[in-house]
Structures are given as structure tokens and as C-alpha cells.
């Protein structure tokens, strides 16, 4: 949509931004569900922007950070439209936000998940709309206080200005009034690109210092009180199963607490975990790895025992390359064009199977209780982690809380949450919180 030279935000009625006052006196903007009107204890107001009385601003980061910079870039979009000084902004990570409605589950903080290098483009409009609505709420509050029309007010970083009233009102002074205003269910103006101050400017990553000093927390750094540690010996063959296990030596390893099988999917079935295996639970990751190394497992190789790269390439050469492929674009008469071509060139390109090889091996913390589950994982798709945990535990998705950490490399590997399902299965089995860690060899 457009209004003159301005773009216009158009969040739907079900997702417009509303404001509430927090217990600390800050102004919080978020997405409403139910009848929430404040950001106090037990509220339902989806946090996105918090403006402190001092004028400092906290902006929520709702997307996984896998190294592409969205933890900085997306809050920059909000800050641009909110019209605040970037140096006054700090960024706070948000968990997965799912809310049950009459139509099923929906997003509390907008869609959460990154892949295909679309983390910024997919959120370009939404995050600017968040900032624009928050800014307009402050303009409305200032106009009401000054007894003027909102159109007579404008903003500069951190202040609402009204020349007609000769007034400059800091955002921090408008908190109470802005929180009391009912939200508008209509589009609000977005900045024209020529007016950008923050978008397009060079900024340091918000967590640069913590990365350089080693203070940043990845999933593999998760530590929670009373948690156990786990590793899994998985079938070396796709669709292989456990035939027999001798776990005496593993149980004799100092620190090993339990050993039990993990059942993988049947051939051809959709998978939640990739392979059958044997889990070892211990008092440390080192003990879990040592216990796993001490296992003696006899495998039933299953239907894929003879698979090999050579066989795959042969199938491609003999069969697949001679069949009609999937038609993605059908424009013009290809056969006629080829037949009339002066020269024809045929080339075959082969790309080998390759491991994504993220620097941080797969890992997940899971704490499964009778009525709830807590997941902490480095994942590209927190909603997928929720689904995997629900499958493993039998719990409803609104009983599962997912915190996602900074990810030590994604590259598409962490679009699949099999390691989340594994951790949840183990935690449910032992009745205690557990951190599952893959080795580098497991991943490759």
C-alpha cells in the first residue's frame, strides 16, 4: 500500500501492536492475544519493544541467529521505524512464541525460523511495522497531552516534537499515557527509504563483544542444575536396527547412570529421529562418550545395507538421467528450439553428497515433566523443535517451552530437529533433565 510518498504498514486485526505498562514503569509493545493489556506478571502481551523511563530501549530478537546477523539487522528495522538512537538500544532474545486459538496454534511473535538466507527479507515488512506502530502510539500520546492532532506531531530520535505547541516530549515522558491508549486497527505510515538513518548504515553486531571474549552462549554451553548428560550410538546403516546389546562394559564406566535403546523410524516412514541406536546417560559428557565407546552392539542392517555412493551414481546414470524430470518452468516451445539450434551442447554435472558440517555439533537440553517440557537448543526452526518435542513426549505444544540459543552454524542442517526429539525421548525415559551431545563423528 502507499500513501503519497510513504509506505504504509498493514498488520491485520489479529496481529496489531498494542501497548502496556510493565511492573517497572516501562512501556512495552507487543502482539496481543486474549484480553491482555499490561506487561506484568503472567501477561499475554507478546514482547517486542520496551521503552524505559530513561529513554533506553530494549528490542526483542525473535529469530534464530545462525551467524547471518539477524540479531542485529532485525532490531535495526524496528529502531528505524520507532525513531530512536541506535546507541540507546539493547537487544533481548525471545523464546518460541506459540499461542493456542480457536483455529489452532498461531505465532505470538510473528513467524520464527530462518533458512535459505531469507531471515531478513522475510521479516522486512513485519519488523518495520512493529516499530512504526510503537512510534505512532507515542505520537498519539503526545498529541493527546498537547491537545493537538497527531498530524501536527513528528518524531526525532527519542522525542515527539510539535512545533505548533512549541513542545519536545521525550519518549520516556509519554509512557503512562501511551500505555493507556487503545490500539488503532488501521495502517500507520512507514518511513520512506530516503529518510533512513539506521537501515543501510554500518553497525557492529550487538553481541560482538561477547563473541570476541567467549562469553556468548551456544546450545552446547547449556548448563542447568541437576541435568544429566547423554550420547547415542546410532546405526551405521540407514534403517538399521539394534539386534543385541552388551552394555556391561559401558555400565562399568565411572559416571554412567543408564543405558537403553532408542527406536528409529521404520523404512519409508516419516522420521522424527534419523536412526535407531543405544543411549548412554551419565554424569558428564565425557563419561557418556566413554560409556558409548564401551558398548558392544550387534546391528540388524535392514534394507539399505548395500547402499553406496557408487550405487547411487549408477542409478542416476542408468535411470534417473534418462527419465523426464520435473518441469519447473514451461515457457515457449523447447523441443522446437532445440531442434532448430545450430549447435547443441550436452553436459552432465555431478554434486556429491556433503555434510553441512556446522562447527557446533548437534546438541539439545530437554527437561520433560508430566505436564510440561523445556527445550534449549541451537535450531533454525524453533517451531520444528516444538513439534519434535511434542512427538517425543505426547504433550501439547503449548506445554512445551522452547528457548533457542545462538547457533554455531546452521547451513540447513538445523532445519531438522531430530536431536531435539532424541533429547526429549531420553529425558522422558529417565525422568530428569538431560543434555544430549553429538560428537563430530556422529554428525559426519
- Report residue 1's pLDDT band, with 50, 70 and 90 as the boundaries: very low
- Supply the mean pLDDT for the chain: 90
User: Cβ–Cβ contacts within 10 Å for residue 134, how many?
Assistant: 30
What average pLDDT score do residues 305-331 get? 87
- What H or E segment, with its residue span, contains residue 31? strand 27-31
End-to-end CA distance of the chain: 48
Spatial neighbors of 257 by CB under 8 A, at least 6 apart, are: 228, 281, 282, 283, 430
Q: Are 258 and 223 in contact (CB under 8 A)?
A: no
The answer to whether 243 and 235 have CB atoms below 8 angstroms apart is no
The percent of residues in the chain predicted with pLDDT above 90, rounded, is 74
Task: Output the pLDDT for position 354.
Answer: 84
Mean pLDDT score, 374-400: 97
Partners of 389 in the β-ladder: none
Is residue 10 scored above 80 in pLDDT? no
2 pLDDT above the threshold of 50: no
Cell numbers linked to 64: 534464530
Q: Which three cell numbers stand for residue 339?
A: 531442434
pLDDT of residue 53: 93
Contact in structure between 414 and 378 (CB atoms under 8 Å):
yes
- Residue 17's pLDDT is 65
> Among candidates 264, 259, 250, 272, which has minimal Cα distance to 230?
259
Q: Strand pairing of 241-246 and 296-300?
A: antiparallel
Residue 217, pLDDT above cutoff 60: yes
Q: Residue 9 — pLDDT band, cuts 50, 70, 90? A: low
Note the pLDDT of residue 4.
40
Main-chain phi, psi angles of 277, to 5 degrees: -175, -170
272 has a pLDDT exceeding 70: yes
The pLDDT tens digits of the residues spanning 76-118 come to 999 999 999 999 999 999 999 998 888 888 888 888 999 988 9
Q: Can you tell me the mean pLDDT for 163-169?
A: 97
42: confidence class by pLDDT, cuts 50, 70, 90: very low
pLDDT at 68 over 70: yes
pLDDT of residue 289 exceeding 70, the answer is yes
Instruction: Give the pairing of strands 57-61 and 89-93.
Output: parallel
Q: What pLDDT is recorded for position 46?
A: 58
Contact at 8 Å (CB) between 388 and 234?
A: no
Work out the burial of residue 55: count CB atoms within 10 Å of its CB; fewer than 13 is exposed, 13-18 middle, 19 or more buried: middle
Beta-bridge partner residues of 364: 436
Residue in the structure block whose three cell numbers are 559416571: 255
Rg (CA), the chain: 27
Across the strands, what pairs with 50?
28, 58
Tell me how far apart the alpha carbons of residues 275 and 240 are, in angstroms, rounded to a whole number: 7
Task: Report the candidate in 249, 63, 88 with the shortest Cα–Cα distance to residue 172.
Answer: 88
Bridge-based pairing of strands 228-234 and 434-437 is parallel
Assign 123 a pLDDT band (cuts: 50, 70, 90).
very high
Cα separation, 128 vs 15, whole angstroms: 14
- Identify the residue whose cell numbers are 542409478: 315
pTM above 0.85, yes or no: yes
Across the range 354-373, mean pLDDT stands at 95
Q: What CA–CA distances, in Å, run from 378 to 45, 61, 234, 259, 261?
A: 25, 15, 21, 25, 25
Amino acid at each position: 500500500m502507499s500513501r503519497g510518498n510513504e509506505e504504509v504498514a498493514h498488520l491485520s486485526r489479529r496481529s496489531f501492536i498494542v501497548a502496556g505498562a510493565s511492573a517497572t514503569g516501562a512501556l512495552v509493545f507487543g502482539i496481543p492475544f486474549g484480553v491482555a493489556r499490561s506487561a506484568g506478571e503472567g501477561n499475554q502481551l507478546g514482547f517486542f519493544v520496551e521503552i524505559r523511563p530513561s529513554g533506553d530501549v530494549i528490542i526483542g530478537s525473535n529469530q534464530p541467529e545462525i551467524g547471518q546477523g539477524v540479531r542485529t539487522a532485525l532490531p535495526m528495522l524496528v529502531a528505524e521505524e520507532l525513531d530512536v538512537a541506535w546507541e540507546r538500544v539493547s537487544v533481548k532474545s525471545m523464546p518460541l512464541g506459540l499461542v493456542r486459538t480457536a483455529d489452532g496454534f498461531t505465532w505470538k511473535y510473528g513467524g520464527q525460523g530462518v533458512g535459505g538466507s531469507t531471515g531478513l527479507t522475510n521479516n522486512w515488512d513485519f519488523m518495520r511495522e512493529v516499530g512504526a506502530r510503537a512510534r505512532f502510539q507515542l505520537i498519539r500520546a503526545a498529541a493527546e497531552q498537547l491537545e493537538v492532532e497527531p498530524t501536527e506531531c513528528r518524531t526525532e530520535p527519542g522525542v515527539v516534537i510539535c512545533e505548533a505547541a512549541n513542545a519536545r516530549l521525550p519518549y520516556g515522558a509519554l509512557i503512562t499515557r501511551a500505555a493507556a491508549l487503545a490500539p488503532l486497527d488501521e495502517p500507520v505510515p512507514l518511513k520512506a527509504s530516503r529518510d533512513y538513518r539506521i537501515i543501510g548504515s554500518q553497525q557492529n553486531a550487538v553481541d560482538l563483544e561477547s563473541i570476541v571474549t567467549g562469553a556468548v552462549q551456544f546450545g552446547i554451553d547449556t548448563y542447568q542444575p541437576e541435568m544429566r548428560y547423554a550420547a547415542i550410538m546410532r546405526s551405521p546403516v540407514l534403517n538399521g536396527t539394534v539386534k543385541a546389546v552388551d552394555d556391561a562394559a559401558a555400565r562399568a564406566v565411572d559416571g554412567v547412570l543408564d543405558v537403553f535403546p532408542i527406536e528409529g523410524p521404520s523404512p519409508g516412514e516419516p522420521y522424527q529421529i534419523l536412526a535407531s541406536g543405544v543411549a548412554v546417560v551419565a554424569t558428564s559428557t565425557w563419561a557418556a562418550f566413554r560409556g558409548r565407546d564401551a558398548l558392544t552392539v550387534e546391528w540388524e542392517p535392514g534394507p539399505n545395507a548395500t547402499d553406496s555412493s557408487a550405487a547411487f551414481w549408477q542409478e542416476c546414470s542408468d535411470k534417473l538421467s534418462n527419465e523426464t524430470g520435473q518441469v519447473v518452468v514451461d515457457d515457449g516451445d523447447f523441443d522446437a528450439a532445440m531442434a532448430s539450434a545450430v549447435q547443441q551442447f550436452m553436459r552432465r554435472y555431478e554434486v556429491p553428497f556433503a555434510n553441512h558440517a556446522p562447527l557446533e555439533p548437534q546438541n539439545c537440553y530437554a527437561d520433560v515433566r508430566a505436564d510440561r517440557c523445556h527445550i534449549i537448543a541451537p535450531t533454525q526452526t524453533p517451531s520444528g523443535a516444538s513439534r519434535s518435542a511434542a512427538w517425543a513426549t505426547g504433550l501439547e505444544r503449548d506445554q512445551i517451552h522452547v528457548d533457542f540459543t545462538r547457533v554455531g552454524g546452521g547451513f540447513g542442517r538445523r532445519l531438522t530437529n531430530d536431536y531435539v526429539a532424541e533429547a526429549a525421548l531420553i529425558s522422558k525415559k529417565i525422568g530428569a533433565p538431560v543434555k544430549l551431545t553429538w560428537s563430530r563423528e556422529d554428525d559426519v
